């Protein structure tokens, strides 16, 4: 199984058409057809249902996920090798970070600005994903760092506690029943339609705070991006349990945010895998983070 063949496979899977894939890849249709047949022969199962379009089979869907991981890892390694300078005079490459939307990015951005002034050839790649996806990418080695919102399995990794925190609260329409309150309590939310983060750890945390049986909670939707949640709230679907500092609720905007009481603080951590060595530019960035952490603690 060659990387080139996997790239051909992914192009056809994405475009759904060999003709379009051949134009995208600057190669002939017969070449792509031959490569796909060889791949299917090697695997021993069909990857596409041939018809009006190229539709993935169940095996094809599985291979697409794995092939994307393989290609991402190869591209990351290839970039790092190309940017290695034998004289150690040039530092270049991309630092890949994945995590949920949190106030931690304020600190990351502050540190990376200084770091980028020293090493202008280093880029930052940020992806907003749920904790499960962070763990998956750390294990596959396709990212350098993850940002996790506690509760999270940070003890399985090396980690730094970040000097930024979020507070859990309730995002609601400004004309809702609870908008006039200073904060919201479990009794306030007991009978309300709720939108929660798509995370088992955070769901469990909220259920403990609410102190109700899970079957008694009216969960109408879950999501892992606060922007999507805010649009659902804006359209009157319910009350979103989320983090502060992520949605603009100032002035006369339609939404407002109220903290939970008892108060629940979300501590934020930067994590990286213990048994996969970081690239030189990632190690230097980690040193910069530690330096800034020491300054903020003084």
pLDDT digit string (tens) for 164-205?
Answer: 999 999 999 999 999 999 999 999 998 899 998 877 777 788
Could you tell me the sign of the dihedral formed by the alpha carbons of 127, 130, 131, 136, in that order? Answer: negative
Residue 110 has pLDDT above 90, yes or no: yes
Q: Share the mean pLDDT of the chain.
A: 87
Query: pLDDT tens, 137-162?
Result: 888 888 999 999 888 888 889 999 99
Residue 70 has pLDDT above 90, yes or no: no
Residue 255 has pLDDT above 90, yes or no: yes
Closest CA to 80 of 137, 127, 123, 116: 123
Q: Which residue has the higher pLDDT, 134 or 213?
A: 134
The alpha carbon torsion through 295, 110, 118, 83 (nearest 10 deg) reads 120
- Report the pLDDT averaged over residues 244-264: 90
Q: Which residue has the higher pLDDT, 285 or 214?
A: 285
Residue 57: in which H helix or E strand, if any?
none
pLDDT, residue 87, reads: 47
Residue 80 has pLDDT above 70, yes or no: no
pLDDT, residue 169, reads: 95
Query: pLDDT tens, 8-64?
Result: 888 888 888 888 888 888 889 889 889 888 888 898 988 988 777 788 888 988 888
What is the percent of the chain where pLDDT is above 70? 94
Q: How confident is the model at residue 276 (pLDDT cuts 50, 70, 90)?
A: low
CA distance linking residue 154 with residue 149, whole number of Å: 9
Task: Say whether pTM exceeds 0.85.
Answer: no
């Amino acid at each position: 199984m060659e990387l080139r063949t996997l790239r051909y496979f992914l192009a056809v899977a994405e475009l759904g058409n060999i003709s379009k894939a051949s134009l995208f890849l600057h190669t002939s249709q017969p070449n792509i057809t031959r490569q796909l047949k060889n791949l299917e022969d090697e695997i021993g199962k069909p990857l596409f249902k041939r018809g009006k379009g190229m539709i993935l089979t169940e095996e094809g869907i599985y291979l697409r996920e794995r092939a994307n991981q393989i290609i991402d890892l190869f591209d990351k390694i290839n970039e790092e090798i190309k940017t290695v300078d034998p004289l150690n005079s040039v530092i270049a490459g991309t630092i890949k970070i994945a995590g949920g939307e949190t106030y931690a990015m304020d600190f990351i951005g502050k540190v990376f600005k200084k770091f980028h002034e020293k090493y202008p050839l280093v880029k930052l790649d940020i992806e907003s994903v749920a904790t499960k996806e962070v763990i998956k990418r750390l294990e596959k080695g396709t990212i350098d760092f993850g940002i996790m919102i506690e509760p999270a399995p940070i003890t399985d990794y090396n980690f730094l506690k970040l000097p930024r925190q979020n507070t859990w609260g309730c995002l609601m329409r400004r004309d809702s029943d609870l908008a006039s309150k200073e904060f919201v309590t479990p009794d306030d939310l007991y009978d309300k339609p709720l939108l929660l983060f798509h995370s088992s750890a955070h769901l469990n945390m909220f259920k403990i705070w609410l102190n109700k049986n899970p079957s008694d909670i009216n969960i109408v939707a879950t999501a892992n991006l606060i922007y999507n949640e805010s649009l659902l709230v804006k359209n009157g679907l319910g009350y979103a349990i989320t983090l502060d500092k992520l949605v603009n609720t100032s002035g006369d905007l339609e939404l407002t945010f109220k903290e939970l009481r008892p108060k629940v603080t979300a501590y934020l951590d930067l994590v990286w895998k213990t048994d996969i060595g970081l690239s030189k530019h990632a190690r230097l960035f980690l040193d910069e983070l530690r330096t800034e952490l020491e300054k903020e603690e003084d």
